[in-house]
Amino acid sequence: MELYFSPGQSYPLGATVQPDGVNFSLFSKSARSVELLLFDHANDPQPAHIICLDPQHNRTFFYWHIFVANIGAGQIYAYRVHGPFEPQRGLRFDGRKVLLDPYALALVGEERYNRSAAIGPGDNCAHALKGVVADLTTYDWENDVHPCTPYSATVIYELHVGGFTRNPNSGVAPEKRGTYAGLMEKIPYLKSLGITAVELLPIHYFDAEDAKPGLTNYWGYSTLGFFAPHRSYSSRRDPLGPLDEFRDMVKALHREGIEVILDVVFNHTAEGNHTGPTLSFRGLENSVYYMLEESPEYYRNYSGCGNTFKGNHPISGRLILDCLRYWVAKMHVDGFRFDLASILTRDHIGQPPAGDISSTNILWVIESDPALAGTKLIAEAWDAAGLYHVGEFVGLADWFAEWNGPFRDDIRRFVKSDNATVKLLADRILASPDIYSRQGIDINRSVNFVTCHDGFTLNDLVSYNHKHNEANGENNQDGANDNHSWNCGEEGPTQNPHIEALRIRQIKNLFTLLLLSQGTPMVLMGDEVRRSQLGNNNAYCQDNGLSWFDWDAVEKEAALLRFVTGLIDFIQTTEIFKQEQLLEVTYGSQSPHIVWHGVRLGQPDWDDNSHSLAFTLRHPQHDEHLYVAFNAYWQPLSFELPPLDNNDYWHRIIDTALPSPEDFCPLDAAPMVKDKTYRVEARSTIVLRVKNNVAM
């Protein structure tokens, strides 16, 4: 095939299919020359064509560009960029290294990829990843629409695409295990569970080799291609297969009313510190994409992963915005969870904002962008270097939500019977008004969670006092030490039926608190069936049964699954759990409200030594009246029940101390409570609801 060239255009960045060829555009301010490499096949060790870009004709400002006729979608390409290697000036050009286009929409070459080859001296072409030209106009979305579920009706399920179906017991065909297609086969399970959104751990193409020898970067927080879906999560082997399979998955989830939220990592990349590989950004314009130390040969490390992406630089900031727009407009995703989002508040040299974080440019740009209006934007409002902005992202420009870290910690501490937790519990139940104090903001922007990928699973939270991360190869030094966990009497798996019963009860207590609290609940994959990592609280490198969903547990833990499914359905069909405003704390209000109690009505015990709290919830407009009591004390407590009108009676929806199926009863089958008090067993929770029995 004979190729024809013309100067091309600087916009858009990346590789853009046109009627008679492809336009390529790349940013590099300090490069002296650029070579476009074209490959015939994904694993070719050398390019079929090397096209040298002329600085006079193929460069506009700091953009290198060329139009190549007679090629199109499916063309495999990469770059070599030549310039000074002067680390003391922050310049790390290496013309021997094959570089990825930051805007590549698909990547290939993983079969021969070798991270070490991009670190050592010499040509790494035979072991480099390459981009693939994609035409986004041919896919049939079949009138797909975003579900646009409000936060008030959202239940998020944090899910790892690979780990969800990679287990041989998943029932998924071997070629589809651990893929987007495999996840599609499990949509009926997600639908039956009642979740409304999946929050996918990183699916941007990441470097699985960014881990200790013999281990794999399983979680995916090591991004190489921000625009490309991770190829190993696709069952298709053709160069553009992952794009179609990902879109098929999104379309299938949307058909069932389930939103897709991506966990995005704009705080660092896979290139690591000064000893890391040259894969893309480092060899294109190192000082533009990364925050450098005062000695520019070293990287500022606010991410804990070796480098820090310079999100508030115009070039890298534009990449972030272009990336978010792309995944919404072209891939139809519904939102993003920003990993270590506080890094995006740092300026171009890493300094935190002098005052309010609302002055941070990239955050305002993201929030105000019309292409992103209506998407869910969720911040992990801290970083690895001490910034902590929980309570400051919510209401920043009226759209960001936050992972509520204090909710996780305070709920754990209350359930394990720590002192001085009852007042904190009350705030967490009310969507943390002590943290989120701005008026007029949807209280469901507090994303509540007890567990997430980073830390213990829910089962391990009640089964281990200490982390057990020996398999990670870091002498158990990695992972958090302060987990607010309690093993209920014995470390790890046990045959003791009393300990097992207590653990089940504690899991149900934690689920009940999570789902009954105001805010948007997030459930960790597998917690509903007691998924265990055997005490590993940092399983980022464990791509094996330790991290995978165990589908045998769906039957084995059917009783717990029934409880969780019933509880999710209960909150989704009860209007008082869908409020967008803070509940009033009062008696007799005609608006939705809450009244606090202790073991005696109207007398909550806020003492530091207290371990119990009760409350009534009322929504007069919908005739909803509930009573909830939490007893984290190690002895039973008798709680006074509010008196009712003649034909109204309390009915037991939940009692976590009871075995299945009595632990959860739908209202139409809920037994009547005739006494004026209710004995709440040690370390247990009850939920009662008023039902009119006049027809009985």
Catalytic residue set: 339, 380
Residues whose CB falls within 8 Å of the CB of residue 232, separated by 6 or more in sequence, listed in order: 110, 162, 178, 208
370 Cβ contact list (under 8 Å, min separation 6): none
Q: How far apart are CA 18 and CA 11, in angstroms?
A: 13
What contacts 24+ positions apart, CB below 8 Å, involve 235-241? 235/175, 235/176, 235/179, 235/180, 235/181, 235/182, 239/42, 239/74, 239/76, 239/106, 239/108, 239/132, 240/73, 240/74, 240/106, 240/132, 240/134
Distance CA 175, CA 650 (A): 52
Which is nearest to 309 in space by CA: 397, 390, 204? 204
Q: Are the CB atoms for 244 and 138 separated by under 8 Å? A: no
For 201-278, list the strands marked E by DSSP: 204-206, 223-229, 259-264
Task: Kindly give the residue spans of alpha helices, DSSP state H, lying in 443-493.
Answer: 458-461
Give the three-class secondary structure for 77: strand
CA proximity to 444, closest of 383, 480, 402: 402
The CA-based angle 512-516-518, given to 5 degrees, is 145
- Give ∠ CA 530-533-539 in degrees, rounded to 5: 135
Strand partners, 26: 64
CA atoms within 13 A on the CB side of 493: 5
Alpha helices, H only, 68-218: 161-165, 180-185, 187-193
Residue 520: helix, strand or coil by DSSP?
A: strand
Report which of 125, 42, 26 is spatially closest to residue 76, judged by C-alpha positions: 42
Long-range contacts of 584-587 (CB under 8 A, 24+ apart): 585/430
Q: Are 681 and 631 in contact (CB under 8 A)?
A: yes
| Residue 219: burial class (beta carbons within 10 Å; 0-12, 13-18, 19+) | buried
The answer to whether the CB of 479 falls within 8 A of the CB of 537 is yes
Q: CA triplet 309, 96, 213: central angle to 5 degrees?
A: 60
d(CA 615, CA 185): 41
CA atoms of 400 and 392, how far apart (whole Å): 9
CA 492 to centroid of chain Cα atoms? 27
367 burial class (0-12, 13-18, 19+ CB within 10 angstroms)? middle
Which string of DSSP letters, residue by residue, matches 636-685?
-EEEEPPP--TTEEEEEEEETTSPTTTTB--GGGPPEE-SSEEEEPTTEE
**Residues 221 and 166 sit within 8 Å (Cβ to Cβ):** no
Evaluated on CA atoms 115, 121, 125, 130, the torsion sign reads positive
Q: Which amino acid is at 428?
A: R
Contact between residue 407 and residue 448 where contact means Cβ atoms under 8 Å apart: yes
CA distance 117 to 278: 9
- Residue 364 to residue 510: CA distance in whole angstroms: 36
